[in-house]
Amino acid sequence: MERRLKYGVLRLIHGDITEQGVDAIVNAANSSLMGGGGVDGAIHRAAGPELHRECMEIIKKIGRLEPGGAVHTGSGRLRERGIKWVIHTVGPVWRGGKYREAEALERCYRNSMALARNLGAESMAFPSISTGAYGYPVEKAAEIALYAIIDELESHEGIEEVRMVLYSTYDFKIYAESLKSL
């Protein structure tokens, strides 16, 4: 499923983000960039130890990465798959919706895309940020993610393709329904 926008195309993909041949992939990290489970674990495993070393260098400089923020590293062994950069962003932990979780989630997508544009990436892939361990309801997260990506692709030149990569059939279905209604 895809949507053509003014400057690029948004594609929904059912699959694994580490297997996407795009310039940049986005990691749903935590504030200490320590690595973890879920998509974070999958990306670190596929990229190898270089990624962790680079993340620790960043943390030495900035202390911690706040929810909504985004930083980048190289891609370690993922270079062999054509991926040049990993963009690490931290989604909000869902606490019922009254703690500006939506704003933080939207910033994850917009800041990651701004960073990708600055790096010169022409293609990038997102996982469904915050909807795993961080508990964000996927229907709500899908609407925010897709709206932010569409708006960025309508207003900024540079990125020609954004893949939203959904790991489960259920999440793919929810994102597809959400895209139809936007």
Binding of residue 81 to ligand APR (CB under 6 A): no
Binding of residue 167 to ligand APR (CB under 6 A): yes
- Are 152 and 112 in contact by the 8 Å Cβ rule? The answer is no
Binding of residue 18 to ligand APR (CB under 6 A): yes
Nearest CA among 15, 18, 43 for reference residue 29: 43
Which of 134, 159, 163, 172 forms a contact with ligand APR (CB under 6 A)?
Answer: 134
Q: How far is the CB of 67 from ligand APR (least distance, A)?
A: 10
Q: Which residues contact 8 (CB under 8 A, 6 or more apart)?
A: 153, 159, 160, 161, 162
Gap between the Cα atoms of 174 and 40, Å rounded = 22
Binding of residue 75 to ligand APR (CB under 6 A): no
Q: How far is the CB of 4 from ligand APR (least distance, A)?
A: 23
Q: How far is the CB of 74 from ligand APR (least distance, A)?
A: 19
Whether 40 sits among the annotated catalytic residues: the reply is yes
Q: Which residues contact 108 (CB under 8 A, 6 or more apart)?
A: 67, 68, 70, 89, 90, 91, 129, 130
Q: How far is the CB of 92 from ligand APR (least distance, A)?
A: 9
Under rule CB under 6 A, which residues in 19-48 are in contact with ligand APR? 28-30, 36-42
Binding of residue 168 to ligand APR (CB under 6 A): yes
- In this chain, which stretch among 47-55, 66-74, 142-150, 166-174 interacts with ligand APR, using CB under 6 A? 166-174
Binding of residue 91 to ligand APR (CB under 6 A): yes
Binding of residue 169 to ligand APR (CB under 6 A): no
Gap between the Cα atoms of 26 and 127, Å rounded = 7
Beta strands 24-29 and 2-4, pairing class: unpaired
Report CA Rg, the chain.
15
Binding footprint of ligand APR on the chain (CB under 6 A): 16-18, 28-30, 36-42, 91, 127-134, 165, 167-168, 171
Residues marked as catalytic: 40
